[in-house]
Amino acid sequence: MPKLVKLALANWRRQRLRAALTAGSLTLSVGAVVFVYALSVAFQSSGSAAVSRAIGNADIWVVPAKGVTVDRDEGEIKAAGALPAGLQAQIEATPAVTGVAAVSGSGEGTLRVSSSDPRRTGAALKEDGLTVSSDPGRTKAQAGTSALAYMVTVNTDRFGVYTFTQQFEAVQVNEVAASVMGVVGRVTLALGFFSVLSSLLISIDERRREFGILAAVGITDDVLYLFLVESTLLIAVGLVGGIVFGGAMFALLMPGIFSVGTVFQAVALVSVYFPIMLIAGALIPAWRLLQKSPLELLRTSP
């Protein structure tokens, strides 16, 4: 094995430009994947982070456990099921609540809680056994739970003119946008894989002559191992380069939502999928090439 690594490195040294171009092409693809994927992850988490940030001095909306549905025709929130009796009194007793109002036109069973400290109120509601979440998805509570979900929507100072319906829809739209980003991330992953694969295929094709000469002196199997070691080393270089490149681009272009964690998620995905798929994807064409007669390889070499 060390001998093969030494040989592979010697091959690189001899063809510095070729190795550099292949590694550069791999770096570009991996970098693009890391960037787009990290962005889509960050986007999704920043969506929920933005909602939590809005807790600041927002109102708290209490909705029934069975959830709410948006009736687009009437432009209203319809609550599924009524609020349990006594809830209003219970909520009024929680700390920091300054007022409770049943909101008209927002469907039955929806309460608007004005609170001087929504975080404390939220914590108190949680202690009372109520499901507390700022995640709109959680307003659809699991069957059987009698708990209520509360949803913290946006800051009333800024968005006072919007109704609960509008705010709720905005959060939904937010999720849709995140899912578009998710699709973009996944497609980029697939395209990046094909991009890396095609650049490896070209690097196999470039070496027809070399393979032909080696096959002519009868060392086909060793050539395959040599190629495997060489392309593994190349992929490793491309992966590291791409991760650094993608991470640096992310930090440069989106400093607002950059975090090592999101980049690391993309890195984990890339480093799990790429090496396995690529070594298989590059090895099979190389093996097929070596099945041809050396004469043909030499004749068709570019």
Partner 1 sequence: MKALRYSLRMVARARGQALLRSFAAAVAAALTFFVLAQSGTVRAQADQLSVGGIDAGLVERATLSLALVAIAVGALQVGVLMTRVVLQRMHEIGVLKASGVADRDIFLVFAFEAVLYGLVGGVLGCLVGLLISVFGPMPEAGEALRAAAITVGVSTVVSALAGIAPARKAIRAPAVEALSHSW
Of residues 105-134, those binding partner 1 (CB under 8 A): none
Could you tell me which of 136, 21, 17, 112 has the C-alpha nearest to residue 60?
112
Among 124, 125, 148, 154, the residue binding partner 1 under the rule CB under 8 A is 154
21 binds partner 1 (CB under 8 A): yes
Which region among 19-27, 92-100, 230-238, 258-266 touches partner 1 (by CB under 8 A)?
19-27
Of residues 225-284, those binding partner 1 (CB under 8 A): 249, 253-254, 256-257
195 binds partner 1 (CB under 8 A): yes
205 binds partner 1 (CB under 8 A): yes
Of residues 35-54, those binding partner 1 (CB under 8 A): 35-36, 39, 43, 46-47, 50-51, 53-54
164 binds partner 1 (CB under 8 A): no
> Cβ neighbours of residue 255 under 8 Å, at least 6 residues apart?
none
- Shortest distance in whole angstroms from residue 281 CB to partner 1: 13
Give the span between the Cα atoms of 33 and 26, in whole angstroms: 11
Residue nearer to partner 1 on the CB measure, 120 or 186: 186
Structure tokens at 275: 């090496």
Residue nearer to partner 1 on the CB measure, 35 or 87: 35
Instruction: Output the CA torsion sign for 60, 66, 70, 73.
Output: negative
28 binds partner 1 (CB under 8 A): yes
End-to-end alpha carbon distance in the chain: 30
Which region among 107-115, 137-145, 169-177, 273-281 touches partner 1 (by CB under 8 A)?
169-177
Residue nearer to partner 1 on the CB measure, 128 or 205: 205
Q: In Å, how far are 43, 83, 101, 168, 282 from 75, measured between CA atoms?
A: 28, 21, 20, 11, 56
Three-state SS for 69? strand
Among 2, 13, 17, 104, the residue binding partner 1 under the rule CB under 8 A is 17
Give the span between the Cα atoms of 278 and 282, in whole angstroms: 6
The region, left, alpha or beta by phi > 0 then psi within -120 to 50, assigned to residue 102 is beta
Structure tokens at 237: 């270089």
Query: Quick one: DSSP state of residue 139?
Result: G
Of residues 72-111, those binding partner 1 (CB under 8 A): none
188 binds partner 1 (CB under 8 A): yes
> Cβ neighbours of residue 145 under 8 Å, at least 6 residues apart?
65, 131
Could you tell me which of 113, 119, 90 has the C-alpha nearest to residue 100?
113
206 binds partner 1 (CB under 8 A): yes
Binding residues (CB under 8 A) for partner 1: these are 15, 17-18, 21-22, 24-25, 28-29, 31-32, 35-36, 39, 43, 46-47, 50-51, 53-54, 154, 159, 162, 166-167, 169-171, 173-174, 176-177, 180-181, 183-184, 186-188, 190-192, 194-195, 198-199, 201-202, 205-206, 249, 253-254, 256-257, 302
